[in-house]
Homo-oligomer: A and B are copies of this chain.
Amino acid sequence: MDEIADNSLTVNGERLWATLDRSSEIGAAPNGGLNRLALTDEDKEMRDQFRAWAETDGYSVTVDRLGNMFVRRGGMEPGLAPVIIGSHLDSQVNGGRFDGILGVLAGLEVLRSLDDAGIATRRAIEVVNWSNEESVRFHRATLFGSMAFAGQAVVEDVLASTDDDGLTVGAELARIGYAGPSPVGGRVIDANFELHIEQGSKLEAAGIPVGIVTGGCPTALFQIEVAGENAHIGPTPMARRRNALVGASEIVVLLNEIGWRHADTESRATATNIDLMPNKFGIIPHLAKLTVDMRHPDPDVLEAMKAAFVSGIDAAAERSRCTIKAENHLNLGGLTFDTELVDLLRETAARIGAPAMDLLSMAAHDAYAISTIAPAAMIFTPCKDGVTHNEAEDIDPASTLPGVNVLLNAALSRAQR
């Protein structure tokens, strides 16, 4: 095995961009973005392309029962736990070309760069495409690839979850040929790296290309059910109405106000979807369901936001004459990534001369789940204007490649451990 030079290795930026350009063709949306929802034909085509690239370069590809794909560049000591570089190749509805995708293709580029440099590593490095990170298609199945791998979701439950057309994850995996034979999870991992676009504008504003993600922003999710009563809008007096849309609107306005109270300290309070029944003109809806999401870097402030929200619900119920149930069904984030890996990323950035700053992740990522079973850390790279989950999402090589080089050199360090 060659000793690593003091000078850093660098990836081949043109080759990385060629893979990104090819990916951008698969499921291309009308305005430059992607529609490549999990387990669709487009997802299958991208998976096939990723597999073809990997096999052409001589890496092994395994697929587990939930369609998670593991592209492995073997190590000299096969008994050692591998280093993992993982993210996702699926997109949002009218999503961007880089959210998740950059992390997987940067991982592939790391493997290729090690080949170019003729470097054999002690540990294997595996690049992972986690299934369904975006969680927009299937009900009750969020980030299911990484979460089930980490034991945070039950494989059989995930396989049975359905989309709006009643199609199950299991049937769709089988249909696209990615219901793999490997068990989900149960493996020892030495380190998990994830590189991702920032999906914010702090790096861009600071003019710094590399974000060292120290942890995740505390996040609270509530499921809201507003129960009203069907009635005809003409004859039914205001005082006899129980309009679930009014109750839901009161909740959204309340939530937005709570978000603004702490806006100067990076609060988020959001509702983005509403399921209204029957959602027809002229008939007062009897039921509205929505999901409420609150985030704040300071867990105490988040608790205060949650309390303000819960205490405002009664007034919203009274004004709308509806019954409103709010269940805080999920709390995410609030995690600190592995100190040793975060330090390694900082040291690597310093060593290769890449300007870097610490950041907190405001969004959930696959690394959140993996951090519960293995040392994990993340690298953020800038995205133009902070725009994401939008077809206009954009990045450029000059501000992206420093982060990919940190990934390469940090993964290499860890793989030689």
Number of chain copies forming the complex:
2
Residues from chain B with a CB closer than 8 A to the CB of A134 are: 282
Give the docked Cα–Cα distance between A95 and B278 (Å): 11
Residues from chain B with a CB closer than 8 A to the CB of A362 are: 234-235
* Residue of B201, B320, B364 touching A234 (CB-CB under 8 A): B364
Shortest CB-to-CB span from A333 to chain B, Å, is 9
Shortest CB-to-CB span from A259 to chain B, Å, is 5
Q: Say whether chain A's binding surface is mostly helix, strand, loop, or mixed.
A: loop
Total interface residues in chain A, CB < 8 Å:
73
Is A232 part of the binding interface, using a Cβ–Cβ cutoff of 8 Å? yes
Is A271 part of the binding interface, using a Cβ–Cβ cutoff of 8 Å? yes
| Interface stretch of the complex, out of A18-26, A42-50, A243-251, A345-353 | A243-251
Is A154 part of the binding interface, using a Cβ–Cβ cutoff of 8 Å? no
Is A267 part of the binding interface, using a Cβ–Cβ cutoff of 8 Å? yes
User: Interface 1/0s, chain A 315-328, versus B by CB < 8 A?
Assistant: 00001100000000
Is A373 part of the binding interface, using a Cβ–Cβ cutoff of 8 Å? no
Is A417 part of the binding interface, using a Cβ–Cβ cutoff of 8 Å? no
User: Interface 1/0s, chain A 47-80, versus B by CB < 8 A?
Assistant: 0000000000000000000000000000000000
Shortest CB-to-CB span from A234 to chain B, Å, is 3
Shortest CB-to-CB span from A359 to chain B, Å, is 10
Are B253 and A238 neighbours in the complex by a CB distance under 8 Å? no
* Residue of B233, B252, B267 touching A293 (CB-CB under 8 A): B233
Shortest CB-to-CB span from A245 to chain B, Å, is 6
Are B270 and A243 neighbours in the complex by a CB distance under 8 Å? yes
Give the docked Cα–Cα distance between A230 and B252 (Å): 17
Residues from chain B with a CB closer than 8 A to the CB of A232 are: 99, 199, 363, 388-389
Is A396 part of the binding interface, using a Cβ–Cβ cutoff of 8 Å? no
- A and B contact pairs by CB, cutoff 8 A, 23 listed: A92-B283, A94-B230, A94-B278, A134-B282, A136-B281, A229-B390, A231-B390, A233-B268, A234-B362, A234-B364, A235-B388, A237-B263, A243-B271, A245-B272, A246-B253, A253-B253, A256-B319, A272-B279, A272-B282, A273-B280, A273-B281, A282-B293, A283-B389
Residues of A participating in the B interface, judged by any CB pair closer than 8 Å? 92-95, 99, 134-136, 198-201, 217, 219, 229-241, 243, 245-246, 248-253, 256, 259-260, 263, 266-274, 276, 278-285, 291, 293, 295, 319-320, 361-364, 386-391
